[in-house]
Chain A
């Protein structure tokens, strides 16, 4: 019986690994003609104008990085603050429902965030910053809300681990909750904090619906945070919906490959952090 279970696990593990490898092979193979036909320069340009033979996806790369980076910049401190509140600084009666809300947020469909933002956030930003309101700023604010639970739960998991090991010891030493968090938990959770940041970034860069619905989808290099941008994910969705034959279609594989590499790099970084943490 044990052997059967072990075999099943092995098959599942190898299967999952093969899917990842297959994705990489597929995206590389379909992007390869861009290299052999000398179109790499075209794809890595800042102009997206398929009618003129320009398939530059640099604006979309910048759009993705602006939204994901901006979202992490907002969500990380917010998430850390929530974790600090949950782990001793905030009163118990408030911490418990707050944790439940954060857990609930992880299950809310992304489209609902975007849908609500179209009616609540976009008009406000339109009034404040001008323009249509559909912008990088709108999208990154909503993506920040989307990734905050990921960040909170990652850091909270690390805090919980430390709590089990050190809570009573630090209380018995006479440390206050704030001292315990600032001087013991936070330094010890350093790698967990970085992992939370990377996970949040991975989630943000992979989001499609929010960017598609409220980032504005302009295909030029963003000049301002209040301007419209298009991300790699929404670019793939939009082009794929309208085109299946042209050169633009094939440039999507390069976009997909880049997205895959972003996520792969984030995972490698996470694994590196994990191994470093285990060795200390």
Chain B
């Protein structure tokens, strides 16, 4: 049953239409996305829809291109002079659809609206509160009187307030790895993003910290559009609303989280998808 659904997902992926009128339930549409580094292609013609207010999980092995897709959504590839990017990336930001890869874009504003949390916690070498208030005051520039409230709100959203309210002025690096990662999440949330990108946010954490982050992500789903990268099918089943399986720089399949059941491992699932792709191609459809 699951395999059939995956195969169906594969066919759907290969036949994604480029619609002039975008679905109201979408927050993003990627079309024919190509990325290369030093002339070596990393992504090949990726098409992907990102549903609004849902958690889209990009699943795949290391090097399959999922992080590259994620970094295309906030134009982080611009930081690497050896990268080349082509195709269309339409995002719904501030109620307006923008092709962030085509038209001139205010990158500062784009990155504020499309927040990102990285694989390993990268807190600023300053206090807990300053980790949130500094980017907030530099980008959104709220009145000083609002700053404290916004910081508290973001820390509460990241389920961290109760653990840090008495040590807001202590160095952020004194926090545990899981707390630091939730601080990074809070830092991104404080900037009031519309889309939140999560690059394997639990891969460097222990079981308890992973659980805490996952609980936080579940609570954020619905209020934010989330795009997360993972190589753990179990995590995709627990968190995702939709799943895009990446292999060799392509979307090999798209499916729901329940379709992942029945596979012993990510490897087994991807092998099945690749087989399905081959038989699909061989059929000449």
Hey, which bits of chain A sit against chain B, CB under 8 A? 92, 162, 165-176, 179, 183-184, 187-188, 280
Contact of A171 among B79, B126, B138 (CB under 8 A): B79
- B76 pairs with A184, CB closer than 8 A: no
Total CB contacts across the A-B interface at under 8 A = 61
Contact residues, B110-136 vs A (CB, 8 A): 110-112, 115-116, 118, 122, 124-126, 134-135
Of A168, A171, A172, most B-chain CB atoms within 10 Å: A172
Which 9 residue pairs of A and B lie closest in terms of their CB atoms, listed nearest first? A174-B111, A172-B116, A169-B122, A174-B112, A188-B125, A173-B135, A174-B108, A174-B139, A179-B138
**How long is the Cα–Cα vector from A92 to B112 in the complex, in angstroms?**
25
Contact residues, B35-92 vs A (CB, 8 A): 74, 76, 79, 81
B171 on the A face (CB < 8 A): yes
- A168 pairs with B111, CB closer than 8 A: no
**How long is the Cα–Cα vector from A184 to B125 in the complex, in angstroms?**
8
Beyond known contacts A169-B124, A174-B108, A280-B173: 6 more, CB 8 A cutoff: A162-B125, A166-B124, A169-B118, A175-B108, A184-B134, A187-B126
Given contacts A179-B138, A183-B138, contact A173 B122 (CB under 8 A): no
Complex interface: chain B residues within 8 A of A187 (CB): 125-126
Q: How far is the CB of A279 from chain B (nearest CB, A)?
A: 10
B108 and chain A: residue at smallest CB distance = A174
- A188 pairs with B79, CB closer than 8 A: no
B159 on the A face (CB < 8 A): no
Given contacts A92-B81, A166-B124, A183-B138, contact A171 B111 (CB under 8 A): yes
**How long is the Cα–Cα vector from A175 to B122 in the complex, in angstroms?**
15
Complex interface: chain A residues within 8 A of B135 (CB): 173-175
**How long is the Cα–Cα vector from A275 to B228 in the complex, in angstroms?**
39
